[in-house]
């Protein structure tokens, strides 16, 4: 059984103006996502600025999200690290808090070999009993998890059950589907490739777009799963200009800017990320208006 089917939000971590995690705002965002049809919460991922949270903050944000969601939809905790021991520690703690699954990014900077990736992911998965979704994003980590490696892990590690595929390479996604079959659920890691990946048997998306357009992102997947492929494709294509602007600077700079433009008051980014360029922010606002996204509180 899949951890989830549909649109999971790679949720931002709101901050106060002085840079602390804003927990009341995070609760508000969680409720907004659930009310608007989001199928899963992915907490402390790249979009959640996990790389600049302390270990204590990282775990507290995970614990808080699990407590507030209270089983209404799955909560998937980002617990990956380029240090295997650190990832094991974070994963075991997240499991204790009641996470429904883990999201493990491939080790960044180290650039492990495929053999090293197998050892790394196997050790982390073996340290817990809950399901594990791997996260393949070579553009950030410097290493690609090869389809053959994913297939090996799916066949040999019982709780490695999915992959968030953000390589952008549809041919690679097809190869994963061919080699891993029904043993590995595939989720799009790119908001501009939801429908193509669904057409290869994907289960949904782990989405940045969902932060500002949760219902629409959910509907792209739901329509496809209900057999309305044309309707799903129409929504996907309509979203492309907005998705492009959400990634015109490195994620999560644009999406956090978008949330603030909508009146959510999610605060600043943590350094070394910096505020969005004014020109890009104006382009983002134009794309949001064209897509029909309304400010907080508007109907």
Mind listing the pLDDT tens digit for each residue in 59-116? Answer: 999 999 999 999 999 999 999 999 999 999 999 999 999 999 999 999 999 999 999 9
**Cα distance between residue 64 and residue 67, in whole Å:** 5
The reported pLDDT for the residue numbered 297 is: 66
Q: Which helix (H) or strand (E) holds 165?
A: strand 160-165
Share of the chain above pLDDT 70, in %: 99
The pLDDT tens digits of the residues spanning 260-291 come to: 999 999 999 999 999 999 999 999 999 999 99
| Residue of 97, 117, 93 whose CA lies nearest to 106 | 117
pLDDT above 80 (res 120): yes
Quick check: 266 and 259 in contact, CB under 8 A? Answer: yes
For the entire predicted model, the pTM comes to 0.96
> Catalytic amino acids?
135, 164
The reported pLDDT for the residue numbered 298 is: 67
pLDDT above 70 (res 299): no
CA 21 to chain centroid: 19
Q: Tell me how crowded residue 261 is: count the other CB atoms within 10 A of its CB.
A: 18
At 161, list the tokens: 């059950």
Q: Which helix (H) or strand (E) holds 296?
A: none
Q: Which helix (H) or strand (E) holds 53?
A: none
Quick check: 86 and 51 in contact, CB under 8 A? Answer: no
Query: Reduced to 3 states, what is the DSSP secondary structure of residue 225?
Result: helix
Peptide bond into 272 cis (omega under 30): yes
CA 132 to chain centroid: 13
Axis crossing angle, helix 229-246 with helix 214-225, rounded to the nearest 10: 150
At 123, list the tokens: 């050790």
pLDDT above 80 (res 295): no
Three state DSSP letters for 238-260: HHHHHHHHHCCCCCCHHHHHHHH
The reported pLDDT for the residue numbered 296 is: 74
**Cα distance between residue 60 and residue 54, in whole Å:** 10
Question: Parallel, antiparallel, or unpaired: how do β-strands 132-136 and 185-188 relate?
Answer: unpaired
Quick check: 23 and 64 in contact, CB under 8 A? Answer: yes
The reported pLDDT for the residue numbered 181 is: 79
């Amino acid at each position: 059984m899949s951890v989830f089917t549909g649109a999971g939000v790679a949720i931002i971590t709101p901050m106060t103006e002085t840079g602390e995690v804003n927990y009341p705002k995070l609760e508000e965002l969680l409720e907004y996502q659930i009310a608007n049809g989001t199928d899963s919460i992915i907490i402390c991922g790249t979009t959640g600025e996990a790389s600049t949270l302390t270990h204590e903050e990282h775990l507290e944000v995970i614990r808080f999200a699990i407590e507030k969601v209270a089983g209404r939809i799955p909560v998937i905790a980002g617990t990956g690290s380029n240090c295997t021991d650190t990832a094991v520690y974070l994963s075991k703690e997240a499991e204790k808090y009641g996470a429904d699954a883990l999201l493990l990014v491939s080790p960044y900077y180290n650039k492990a070999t495929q053999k090293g990736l197998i050892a790394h992911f196997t050790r982390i998965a073996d340290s817990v009993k809950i399901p594990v979704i791997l996260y393949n994003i070579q553009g950030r980590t410097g290493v690609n998890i090869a389809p053959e490696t994913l297939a090996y892990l799916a066949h040999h590690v019982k709780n490695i059950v999915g992959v968030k595929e953000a390589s952008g390479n549809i041919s690679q996604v097809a190869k994963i589907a061919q080699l891993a079959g029904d043993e590995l659920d595939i989720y799009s890691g790119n908001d501009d490739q939801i429908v193509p990946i669904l057409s290869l048997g994907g289960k949904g998306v782990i989405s940045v777009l969902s932060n500002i357009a949760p219902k629409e992102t959910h509907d792209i997947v739901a329509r496809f799963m209900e057999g309305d492929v044309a309707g799903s494709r129409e929504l996907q294509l309509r979203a492309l200009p907005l998705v492009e602007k959400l990634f015109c600077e490195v994620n999560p700079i644009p999406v956090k800017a978008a949330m603030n433009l909508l009146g959510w008051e999610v605060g600043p980014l943590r350094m070394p990320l910096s505020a969005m360029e004014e020109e890009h922010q104006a382009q983002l606002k134009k794309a949001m208006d064209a897509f029909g996204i309304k400010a907080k509180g508007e109907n």
